[in-house]
Structure 1
Amino acid sequence: MSGSEATGSESDSVVLYDIEDKPPLGEAIPLGIQHVLAMFLGNVAPPLILAGAVGGVTGQTTFLVQMALIVAGVATLVQVFPIGPVGAKLPIVMGTSFAFLGPLIGIGNQFGIAAVFGASLLAAPVEMAMGLTLDRFRNYFPPLVTGIVVMLIGLTLIPTGMNYAAGASAGPGAAGYGSLANLGLAGLVLVVTVVLNQFFEGFLRVISVFVGIVVGYVVAIAMGMVDFAAVASAGWLTVPTPLRYGLAFPPSAVLTVAFLYVITGMETIGDISGTVSATGRDPSREELRGGLIADGVMSAFGAVFNALPNTSFSQNVGLVNFTGVASRYVVGIGGVVLILLGLVPKVGAVVSAMPDAVLGGGALILFAMIFSSGARIITQNVTLDHRNSTILALSMALGLGVAFRPEILQNLPTEVQTLFGSALVTGGIAALVLNVVIPGGGVGTGPTEYTDGLAPETPTNMQEDIPDSGTSPTPIDDD
């Protein structure tokens, strides 16, 4: 194995570069850019949508997008290189959270844009408190629950990846949706990425997603599918302006956002677990605590600088598992790139000109890998006896059920529809409640106890006995 040895069985680790490894700069820079490409549109889409939906920020799209990039970059650096207890010291990429978007649009239209940022600021301590009380709080999030949350994250992102692959993030009905040109571009990116990752070794395998997207972008330019008009009109420098829209604190808005912070806290626990599982171990309490506190602190920071709440980005969890590069220094480079893109709109415009279909080809792979990461958490830590199988099956059914048939909630209040129409919310809460109320339990279903700040070794069950079976979510380095 190329990276430093992870805690736990070596057969459980899929990393080429471990968390503290420092790849050569010539490799680390494109690997960091690869992380930016994986999350770029997901990070800028919420402010784009908000600007179009809330009248108070009409015409402010470019400014909101640049603030989202800068805040995401700073938040990522804090996760990678902690400031005291703030930060996980892990390869966690931060960005604008889609979970807040719908409710915040409603808050903005009802109370004004100042309430969007005021509620995000005032409610942010909820997630900080989750981190500070982790020893008690985490008892409710054993591997069974976190694994379900991670799988739901991946499954619920796949429709987004399909929309991008079809050429229109807005979904069916948009111009060009599902055209042969868009599907061909997405297919090209997917094929190039998979071929490089599965049939090549070394650096080409590690950077497969980046190469796939670059190939797709070049082909899209040759096909005349890229419009560089926005690049020509973009400026060269953006100056961050704190509290540009002011702050307001309507109580109902604050309570709504506070509940959403609890949900994204669950997502962050899942993302951290999914990232660390690539190294063959479970996250330590310090990593989980620092990650949650950083989520809250940096969301408050974002509210001051006119950005929506930030959280860990799940697609980058998939990238870590897919490439085997878990180096936090690589992700730190990605954070610097995000800040530079935010400060220089013209450079960011080049990236944002990329057709959706190009990103969609790579995104589909990454979203699917998030699901595999959640499955690994469960298979390596949980005995799927009758009790645990019931919790797994019912939680997934309820979560995906409301996603497939949101009409089932149409007779409930709008606020309830918004919250429980999310597969992550419904499935995650179902797993949480069922794990508490159903008696019994098996290996790995209860709270994990730590004696030295690190998680115990995980079971090595299937992968040692069935080498090269194709069941490993990511390629294992034969070295």
Structure 2
Amino acid sequence: MGSDSHSHDTGSGADLIEYDIDDEPPLSEAIPLGIQHLLAMFLSTVALPLVIAGAIGLEPAETTFIVQMALLVAGISTIVQVYSVGPVGARLPIVMGTSAIFVAPLIDIGNAFGLAAIFGAVIVAAPVEIVIGYFYDDLRRFFPPLVTGTVVMLVGLTLIPTAIDYSAGGPGAETYGNLENLALAGLVFAAAIGFNQFFDGLLSISSVLIAVVLGYLAAIPLGLLDLSGVGESSWVAVPMPLEFGVAFHPSAILIAAFAYVVTSIETIGDIEGTTGTVGRTATSREMRGGLFADGFMSMFAGLFNAFPNTSFSQNVGLIGFTGVASKFVVGICGVFLVILGLIPKVAAVVAAMPNPVLGGAAIVLFGMIFSIGMRIVANRVDLTRRNLTIIAVSIVLGVGVEVRPDAIGQLPDDVQVLVGSGLLVGGVTALVLNAILPADGDTRQGPTQVEETERAD
């Protein structure tokens, strides 16, 4: 279908589109454009597995393997989302990767039950998103912007302690809080903000990735970079399913199930945002296919030792920024991810990231998640007394159980895992209060559309 006709008339006030969804730019353009998508999402899709692995105490070799699987599964999921397998896939230019929504819940599950329980919960709970896709039109009314914005804010807030821990040197590190760690994290943080705010184009889009590379270089004279694992890694490896086993715990599955509900809301917004760049609304088939891909490919991720996958909103923003909506370009990005996922040495280099470097990047990434949720609420919710009450109570309870887990220490272990998840407690609180409190004149609570969301992820 290669089309050389640029500047398509998309109507509906759409931005100028250089390549439409079904256009295929020549490879000389498509490959660099695909690499640009890779750069925009790369750090998020490897940083999140690194955070989870570090927080639950995995060994370096295990961490390297999980990062490798994250890249591989992201690539396969992207290709399925772009070109579809039967009803699975939106056939839209959507990049897939590890979901930030799951970071805090999976850390809670891993610390309580171990790594096998994480993968068990990821696999068993994934059909929740498939069901949401099937009944999409009937279910979306339960998730107005009041609820979705509050939940997105909670995702960012519950990850703040993790970002600070890594900036200080990592949980339990002997050098926790020393000046070298804080200075290195500060350098990465400052570089990420600087490139994002003072530059345009690729330098701005890839600001966090550039900051991490600078952090790697700065870590060398500080003696904080250990690349010994790279030499021990092979060049090519074949993935093995269920390498870490699988275990099933009801409370772990419930936590994961709610996280799937949240990430499906984000995916709905990303699909609408993607079709909006070419001046039209998403069809029911595209919406169902996109949510099916989230669910089925997250189940696939759990089988192959990776964490749940979802659409990456920063890549939706990149499409609007460049005017290139070609799914062929995004498919090339998926191919590059698969190639990287089959090369353990690449994963080993990533896994060697010093904790303060990861922490400095995490402050930016996780902070952006909170600000995106705040923007959803500010732009799309009337801040009446009722709505302010729902936001306040949901956030206080959600953050409270995360930062003061001893308060629920007398509860049974399985119950502790459930009510110790800030995302679950705060999210359910927002859902229930929104359903039972009488409306008081809020006018902007239309169907949920989280097109504002951009995953730091």
TM-score by length of structure 1 reads 0.75
Q: Which residue of structure 1 aligns with residue 198 of structure 2? A: 199
Q: Which residue of structure 2 aligns with residue 390 of structure 1? A: 389
Deviation at 1:118, TM superposition (A): 5.6
Q: Distance in 1 between matches of 2:144 and 2:18?
A: 27
| Structure 1 residues 443 and 100: alpha-carbon distance in aligned structure 2, compared to 1, 3 A threshold | same
Q: Which residue of structure 1 aligns with residue 165 of structure 2? A: 163
Q: Distance in 1 between matches of 2:346 and 2:450?
A: 45
| SS of corresponding position for 2:410 | coil
Letter in 2 for 1:142: P
| Structure 1 residues 410 and 277: alpha-carbon distance in aligned structure 2, compared to 1, 3 A threshold | farther
Q: Which residue of structure 2 aligns with residue 186 of structure 1? A: 185
Deviation at 1:333, TM superposition (A): 5.4
Q: Distance in 2 between matches of 1:436 and 1:334?
A: 41
Q: Which residue of structure 2 aligns with residue 310 of structure 1? A: 308
Q: Which residue of structure 1 aligns with residue 131 of structure 2? A: 129
| Structure 1 residues 381 and 124: alpha-carbon distance in aligned structure 2, compared to 1, 3 A threshold | same
Q: Which residue of structure 2 aligns with residue 66 of structure 1? A: 68
| Structure 1 residues 158 and 270: alpha-carbon distance in aligned structure 2, compared to 1, 3 A threshold | farther
Q: Which residue of structure 2 aligns with residue 37 of structure 1? A: 43
Q: Is the 8 A contact 2:394 2:430 kept in 1?
A: yes
Q: Which residue of structure 2 aligns with residue 154 of structure 1? A: 156
| Structure 1 residues 320 and 176: alpha-carbon distance in aligned structure 2, compared to 1, 3 A threshold | farther
Asked if 1:143 is matched to 2:142, the reply is: no
1:295-337 deviation digits (Å, cap 9, x = unpaired): 32123223433x2551438xx5478779985977676555444
Deviation at 1:392, TM superposition (A): 1.4
Instruction: Tell me the C-alpha RMSD between the 2 structures.
Output: 4.2
Deviation at 1:35, TM superposition (A): 1.6
| Structure 1 residues 196 and 4: alpha-carbon distance in aligned structure 2, compared to 1, 3 A threshold | farther
Q: Distance in 1 between matches of 2:199 and 2:133?
A: 41
Q: Distance in 2 between matches of 1:138 and 1:349?
A: 41
Higher mean C-alpha displacement, 100-109 vs 433-442: 100-109
| SS of corresponding position for 2:434 | helix
Q: Which residue of structure 2 aligns with residue 341 of structure 1? A: 340
| Structure 1 residues 380 and 270: alpha-carbon distance in aligned structure 2, compared to 1, 3 A threshold | same
Q: Is the 8 A contact 2:398 2:421 kept in 1?
A: yes
Deviation at 1:234, TM superposition (A): 0.7
Q: Give the share of equivalent positions with the same residue, in percent.
A: 41
Q: Is the 8 A contact 2:251 2:415 kept in 1?
A: no
Q: Distance in 2 between matches of 1:159 and 1:381?
A: 28
1:407-430 deviation digits (Å, cap 9, x = unpaired): 221222211211121111111101
Q: Which residue of structure 1 aligns with residue 365 of structure 2? A: 366
Q: Is the 8 A contact 1:322 1:369 kept in 2?
A: no
| Structure 1 residues 134 and 275: alpha-carbon distance in aligned structure 2, compared to 1, 3 A threshold | closer
Asked if 1:224 is matched to 2:223, the reply is: yes
Letter in 1 for 2:308: N
Q: Which residue of structure 2 aligns with residue 95 of structure 1? A: 98
| Structure 1 residues 437 and 16: alpha-carbon distance in aligned structure 2, compared to 1, 3 A threshold | farther
Q: Which residue of structure 2 aligns with residue 421 of structure 1? A: 420
| Structure 1 residues 81 and 63: alpha-carbon distance in aligned structure 2, compared to 1, 3 A threshold | same
Deviation at 1:150, TM superposition (A): 0.9
1:392-446 deviation digits (Å, cap 9, x = unpaired): 1211121112122222212222112111211111111010001100111522325
Q: Which residue of structure 2 aligns with residue 462 of structure 1? A: none
| Structure 1 residues 196 and 447: alpha-carbon distance in aligned structure 2, compared to 1, 3 A threshold | closer
Q: Distance in 1 between matches of 2:70 and 2:118?
A: 14
Asked if 1:259 is matched to 2:257, the reply is: no
Q: Distance in 2 between matches of 1:192 and 1:457?
A: 27
| SS of corresponding position for 1:299 | helix
| SS of corresponding position for 1:85 | coil
| Structure 1 residues 72 and 331: alpha-carbon distance in aligned structure 2, compared to 1, 3 A threshold | same
Higher mean C-alpha displacement, 340-349 vs 433-442: 340-349
Deviation at 1:233, TM superposition (A): 0.9
Q: Is the 8 A contact 1:47 1:65 kept in 2?
A: no
After superposition, residues 171-182 of structure 1 pair within 5 angstroms as 173-182=172-181
Q: Distance in 2 between matches of 1:51 and 1:190?
A: 25
After superposition, residues 236-385 of structure 1 pair within 5 angstroms as 236-242=235-241, 253=249, 255-272=250-267, 275=270, 289-305=288-304, 307-312=305-310, 317=313, 335-385=334-384
Q: Distance in 2 between matches of 1:49 and 1:38?
A: 16
| Structure 1 residues 341 and 26: alpha-carbon distance in aligned structure 2, compared to 1, 3 A threshold | closer
Deviation at 1:102, TM superposition (A): 3.8
Q: Is the 8 A contact 2:181 2:356 kept in 1?
A: yes
TM-score by length of structure 2 reads 0.78
Deviation at 1:119, TM superposition (A): 5.8
**How many residue pairs are counted as aligned between the two chains?**
433
1:419-476 deviation digits (Å, cap 9, x = unpaired): 121111111101000110011152232546xxxxxx7999xxxxxxxxxxxxxx99xx
Higher mean C-alpha displacement, 213-222 vs 386-395: 213-222
1:147-175 deviation digits (Å, cap 9, x = unpaired): 1111111122222222222231x2xx412
Q: Distance in 1 between matches of 2:153 and 2:352?
A: 31
| Structure 1 residues 420 and 77: alpha-carbon distance in aligned structure 2, compared to 1, 3 A threshold | farther
Q: Which residue of structure 1 aligns with residue 4 of structure 2? A: none
Deviation at 1:349, TM superposition (A): 1.1
Q: Distance in 2 between matches of 1:425 and 1:7?
A: 41
Q: Is the 8 A contact 1:124 1:300 kept in 2?
A: yes
Q: Which residue of structure 1 aligns with residue 3 of structure 2? A: none
Asked if 1:445 is matched to 2:445, the reply is: yes
Q: Is the 8 A contact 1:399 1:428 kept in 2?
A: yes
| Structure 1 residues 201 and 301: alpha-carbon distance in aligned structure 2, compared to 1, 3 A threshold | closer
| Structure 1 residues 366 and 46: alpha-carbon distance in aligned structure 2, compared to 1, 3 A threshold | closer
| Structure 1 residues 105 and 187: alpha-carbon distance in aligned structure 2, compared to 1, 3 A threshold | closer
1:95-150 deviation digits (Å, cap 9, x = unpaired): 274323543565569xxx5x765665444323311221222222211111111111
| Structure 1 residues 162 and 106: alpha-carbon distance in aligned structure 2, compared to 1, 3 A threshold | closer
